[in-house]
Amino acid sequence: MIQWGIIGCGGIARRRVLPAATEMRSTRFVAVMDADPDVTREVAAESGTRACFSVEDILNDPQIQAVYIATPVYLHHPQALLAAAKGKHVLLEKPLALTVEQGREIVETFETRGLSLMEGYMMKFHSLNSRAAEMVAVGEIGEPVFLRAQLSCWYPEIQGSWRQDPSLGGGGALMDMATHLFDLLEEICGSRIVEVTAFVATRTFSYAVEDSSVTLLRFKNGAFGVAEAFFNIPDMATQGRLEIYGTAGSILSEGTVGQDPGGSMHAFLGTAQKGYDALQRRAGTDLERQAITAPPVNMYAAEFDYFSECIFEGREPQRSTGRQGLHILEVACAAYESARSGRAVRPGSESL
């Protein structure tokens, strides 16, 4: 068991991570801290953990080996650096930081100190998404050609919401949700994003961040992709679709993009390449619809247990690493630069 503390327990930590603790094998939460003392007391009582009332208090606890930082993005940089100074391993919520420069300093600090850093991109731990990545990796759909993912919700104006203030969250639908898609599509495609063209707008609401975004992607292996993230589509109207197309078939899912373990996935796989069919008939071909199944997994429990086991065994995580998080932040910043300039941008280029 790795002993964990939580910094920022009023949002995703309270709604998703702590309830998942009953399903965790290697992770034990022992202390929580939030900027709101009342929230801290409430969450501590709910979770049976110790209430801490400052970042220093939780980081000075010698029992705590790792901390989960789930605070607004503008706090990630100072809090992660303080955690590193105290010798704690960190699972840092996404995005890594407000800027690439801040993110790079975080990553390099943890590397220099020999501490492990993971970022909170949990969708790759969804059991069906994992199956899709495995199928692509072994060539079941042939060569990947095109990937598409959707993540949307209804997020109206909320007084004091840090996600609606670019100085606190770094951006809107693209930074908050499309980054999940960038990471997931790279995991499934097995290749990095090397170029982006993006469109962002604030069409429905009056806050200072975008409520609409579409990002066109080019992967290193030549595949193309689309990531769609919106704050202005009703929750019941969005299906969390994932689509992967290759030279020998496709994988299609609904409900595997999001925070829940459910959803459905099907594959359409062929046995051999065929000649050109001028009628482009779909019926009677050798492409067969196959249900893809896997036991449901709580993504948050799987994510934390994976990291805890890495810490316990003294090995560096290979999934959702700090370096991967820095790369995804570079992709997001490139997307914003593309939206501003109206041209394609390569992540990590000097224009950032």
What does the alpha-carbon distance between residue 59 and residue 48 come to, in Å, rounded to a whole number? 18
Q: Is the peptide bond before 234 cis (omega within 30 degrees of 0)?
A: no
> pLDDT per position in the chain (352 positions), as tens?
999 999 999 899 999 999 999 999 999 999 999 999 999 999 999 999 999 999 999 999 999 999 999 999 999 999 999 999 999 999 999 999 999 999 999 999 999 999 999 999 999 999 999 999 999 999 999 999 999 999 999 999 999 999 999 999 999 999 999 999 999 999 999 999 999 999 999 999 999 999 999 999 999 999 999 999 999 999 999 899 999 999 999 999 999 999 999 999 999 998 655 666 665 666 555 677 899 999 999 999 999 999 999 999 999 999 999 999 999 999 999 999 999 999 999 998 643 3
What does the alpha-carbon distance between residue 8 and residue 35 come to, in Å, rounded to a whole number? 7
- pLDDT for the residue 334: 98
Cβ count within 10 A of residue 1: 12
- pLDDT for the residue 352: 34
Domains along the sequence of the chain with CATH: 2-121 (3.40.50.720), 123-299+331-341 (3.30.360.10)
Q: Which residues contact 115 (CB under 8 A, 6 or more apart)?
A: 84, 87, 88, 89, 90
Q: Which of 304-315 are b and which e, b meaning 16 or more Cβ less than 10 Å from the residue's Cβ?
A: bbbbbebbeeee
- pLDDT for the residue 351: 39
Alpha helices for the chain (secondary structure H): 12, 37-47, 55-59, 76-85, 100-113, 127-137, 166-169, 173, 179-189, 299-313, 322-341
Report the run of H or E that residue 268 belongs to, with start and end: strand 264-269
- pLDDT for the residue 348: 86
- pLDDT for the residue 258: 95
Look at residue 154 and give its three-state secondary structure: strand
Residues 148-201 pLDDT 10s: 999 999 999 999 999 999 999 999 999 999 999 999 999 999 999 999 999 999
What does the alpha-carbon distance between residue 291 and residue 184 come to, in Å, rounded to a whole number? 21
Residues 28-56 pLDDT 10s: 999 999 999 999 999 999 999 999 999 99
Q: Residue count of the chain, please give it.
A: 352
| Structure tokens belonging to residue 204 | 């429905």
Q: Which residues contact 119 (CB under 8 A, 6 or more apart)?
A: 91, 92, 93, 94, 96, 320, 321, 322, 324, 325, 328
Sign, CA torsion 182/20/48/317 = negative
